[in-house]
Structure formats: C-alpha cells, structure tokens
Structure 1
Amino acid sequence: MKRRTFIKKASITSLACALPPIVPVYSNTDYSLDELIGKADIDLYGKGINLREEAYHAFVAMKKAAQAAGVSIQMVSSYRDYFRQESIWERKFLRYTEDDGMQPLDAIDKIVEYSTIPGTSRHHWGTDIDIIDGNVKSSGDVLVPEKFESGGPFERLKLWLDENSEDFGFYLVYTDEPKRPGFKYEPWHYSYAPISIPMLAAYRKINIVKMLLSQDYLGCDYFTTGFLRSYIQDNILGINPELL
C-alpha cells in the first residue's frame, strides 16, 4: 500500500490565480530502480490528486488559475504504480488476443498505440496527469483526441492549457507533431517538467531492456531485444522535446 499525505491547505496563495508561480528547480536525481519503475512506496499529495509534493502544489495553482478563467481542471489519472499498469496491460492483451482474435504480436502493437509496457509508464513517477474539463459533460470515453479539438467538449480546456500550462511547469507529453514517433497524440496528458525531466534522465541510465526482459506478465514472452530497443527510442523518448 503506497503512502499518501493529504494536504488540506496549499501553500500557494490566491495570487497564483493572477500570476504564474516560479517553477522550482528540482535537483534530486537519487532515484531507486523500484521508484523509477513504479514499485516503490512514495509520498503522494492531495486527495484525488496523488502527485509528488512540488507537482501537487503546481497543479493546485494551475487549477485555481483555470477556475478563474471558467475552466474546471478535473483529474482523470495521475500516479499509477507498476501493478496497476500490469493489470491494464494484461486486460488489453487478453481482450485483443482472445476476444478479438488478434495474433500476440499484433495485439502488442495495438496496445502500445496508447498504453505503456509495465515499468515504463511516466505515471509511475507521480509527475504526470490526465485531465479533462469538469465543467463539461461528455458521454463515453473522455480521453479521445477529437474531444479536445475544435468543436469538442474540451476545446476550451485545451486552448487554456496551450496558453498557460507551461507557466506552471506542466508540458504536453505526446504532441501532435506529425513526425513524432511512438505513442499517439494525447491532448490530455501533461507532465510536471521540473521533476519528470531529471527522473527521465535517471531512468535512461538503467538497463531498460534487461529490466523489461526480467519481468513476468502476459505477452512479455513475445518481446525481443530489437522490439524493446525500438520501443525505448520511439515510445519512451518519442515525446515533447521540452521534456527530454
């Protein structure tokens, strides 16, 4: 069970609604392997928010500023541990191979259009968020790119984020840059750069291929070294260059 420290009152004052906060420089790079792959017990802040402390404060300030502009930022997903990601992966693998009759390799290719291999998700770090506009009702799956574009229910949220999110340290991860490889465009996925950048740097220092080949979950038997190297280059590193 991971520990959560719920903060009732943010230290950011109401001035954050009018002025962007000073984004702190996060210098700690001493991360364990378990912490980087989502198996560590880390402190998470904010009921229903579940982010590292600095990311939590920045998120609260951004949420307040958006609220003043008539946009209600609602958290859909934030911290996700290894075992939660494993369950998502295995559920999709079974659905594609058993229900849809796909071959395992085709199923894996389908999964990694949007979902990460367990141990490689940025949501393991407590820095990344999936968000929508809570003021707008939308039926069905809310995390659909078209819902954030022109005419979609979350268009206003996306326009506000385009103008303001980076002032609070949050950067879009999977952009709509045509030449960007890896995961498809996710207009809902933002990362708190002052922490996620050094965490990615630490993550790149581990032997990711060796780590992934040592895990055990449905579908992993079909991984090859070549596939994993391409996955690292295209999916893990195929992100907004501002986050590298």
Structure 2
Amino acid sequence: MKRNEFIKISGLAGLSLAIFPHFSFSTFSKEFTRNQLIGKGNPDIIGESYTSKMHKTTKEAFNKMKAAAAKDNFNIEVVSSYRSFQRQKEIFERKYRSFTSKGLSPMEAIEKIIEYSTIPGTSRHHWGTDLDIIDANASRPSSVLQPENFHGNGPYCDFKVWLNENAEKYDFNEVYTDNGNRKGFKYEPWHFSYAPVSVPMLKEYKEKIDVKKMLAEEKLLGSEHFSDDFIKRYYTDNILDINPKLLPQGSL
C-alpha cells in the first residue's frame, strides 16, 4: 500500500471512531449497491419472517439490547423490520387506492400516505437497520404504533423511558423525533435505527440514488403526480429531516 493511501485510510478510520466510538471502520468502508439501497435485494439481510429479517450486524446489536431490556422486565417485540421494495410498493399502492376511492385527489392521497408511510425505494426499512418496536409485556392496545401509547399513561410509557436511557448504548437512535421544528414524517417513538449501518447507507443513498429518476423508472401507482417540487420537498423533509445523530457528516 502506498504511504499516501495508508494515511488517507487511517485518517478516515480515526475520524469515524472519534465521531462514532462504537462503530467499526469496516462498516464505513463498505459499498452498497443500488438494489441494497432501494430494497431490491441485500445479501446481508438475515431472518425468516417479516419481523425477524434484519441486517446481520443490526441483528447482533438488537439481540444485545433485547437481553439488556429483559433484565429490566421489558420484552422487546419487533413489529416491523426489513421491508423490501415490493412490500413497500404494496403498502403504498393499497393506501393510494383506498384514499382516492374515498374522494381524495391523487396529491391529497399521496400527502396523506407520507404522514407515516414512505414511498417505495426511499424507505429506511429497505436497509434492514430500522425497527419498529414495542414492549410485549405491556397490555396491548388495538393499534400499537400510536404516539400516545408511549407517553403519559400509555402502555409503553415505561418502555419509552428505558429506550431513552439505554438504546444509544447499543447504537440505536430514534429516527423521527418529537421535535416541533422537524418536518417530514410525523413523530414515531417506536422507530429506531442502528446507526453503524444506517448512517453509511444514507450517505451512499445520497451519493448514488437520483430519487426523481428512480421513481420514474419504477412506475408506481400515482407516480405521474410526483412533480419536481414535490420530490425535492419529500427528499429534504422526509428523507433528510431526521434525528441529526443519524445523518452523515456534512449533511447538517
């Protein structure tokens, strides 16, 4: 290896460890394909079911966090983990048909969908790094993924306190925070991301994926209504306006 190449690599390693002390340098040096970034195939995904499929490194960290939570009488249940492009497409198009059949215009339907659901090809769940989690030991409401369940007298209130105090020890961060200045997706106290993998994946997503071109190629139901202004706003507000701890350096 040439000396200048060694210095460059060593410098990157030191920077990554200084900023993210729990992260391994190998995580940051990995390159991801277009298919991995948009949910069309990832050899690093392990697991069999909708709630168990995760990036292999995310799974290791999650198991450690789950074991720690169990010692405090919390039973972490994954409601949603890895979600393929096709699965996200099914969710998006089902909601689009439902909302438009109830009288909403195409753009009204799309705006309603993206309050909580992502457009296929843009979901963080495509990476296998992001989890929707609850406490299986608590009483189960009819609709588990509601913000009120995690606060006040909600069944997951104590669990949320535990997550606030412990999740980052295992490199999991809440994605869509309760920040009044944040735009894009609404507050999701159940949605956590494994930063050592999701941060470099977001970095490469920004570098490799032309969202406008990708969405045009995929021909989603209703995508003809995606104007340039809408895509620009969606990219800025929904993809990038997240917990700053999950943004690549230089994104702020």
Q: TM-score with structure 2 length normalisation?
A: 0.85
Give the letter for the 1:185 counterpart.
Y
- The alignment of Structure 1 onto Structure 2 pairs a total of residues equal to 223
* Separation of aligned partners in 2, 1:195 and 1:22: 12
* CA apart distance, 1:41: 4.0
* CA apart distance, 1:167: 0.4
Q: How does 1:214-229 map to 2 (within 5 A)?
A: 214-229=217-232
Higher helix proportion: 2
* CA apart distance, 1:22: 4.9
Unaligned stretches of 5+ residues in structure 1: 1-20
* Separation of aligned partners in 2, 1:89 and 1:208: 16
* Separation of aligned partners in 2, 1:184 and 1:207: 24
Which of 184, 202, 205 is matched with 1:203 structurally? 205
* Separation of aligned partners in 2, 1:121 and 1:166: 22
Give the letter for the 1:213 counterpart.
A
* CA apart distance, 1:105: 0.6
Match of 2:177 in 1: 175
- Is 1:190 equivalent to 2:192 in the alignment? yes
* CA apart distance, 1:44: 2.3
> Secondary structure of 1:132's match?
strand
Which of 121, 134, 137 is matched with 1:135 structurally? 137
1:169-226 CA-partner distances (Å, limit 9, x unpaired): 1000000010001000000000000000000000001212211122212111111111
Which of 103, 113, 117 is matched with 2:119 structurally? 117
Whether the 8 Å CA contact 1:182–1:238 is kept in 2: the answer is yes
Q: TM-score with structure 1 length normalisation?
A: 0.88
Runs of 4+ in 1 over 3 A off after TM superposition: 21-25
Whether the 8 Å CA contact 1:145–1:185 is kept in 2: the answer is yes
Give the letter for the 2:46 counterpart.
Y
* CA apart distance, 1:142: 0.4
* Separation of aligned partners in 1, 2:47 and 2:94: 29
* CA apart distance, 1:28: 3.3
Give the letter for the 1:212 counterpart.
L
> Secondary structure of 1:131's match?
strand
* CA apart distance, 1:137: 2.3
Whether the 8 Å CA contact 1:79–1:123 is kept in 2: the answer is yes
Unaligned stretches of 5+ residues in structure 2: 1-20, 248-252
How large is the Cα RMSD of the aligned pairs? 1.4
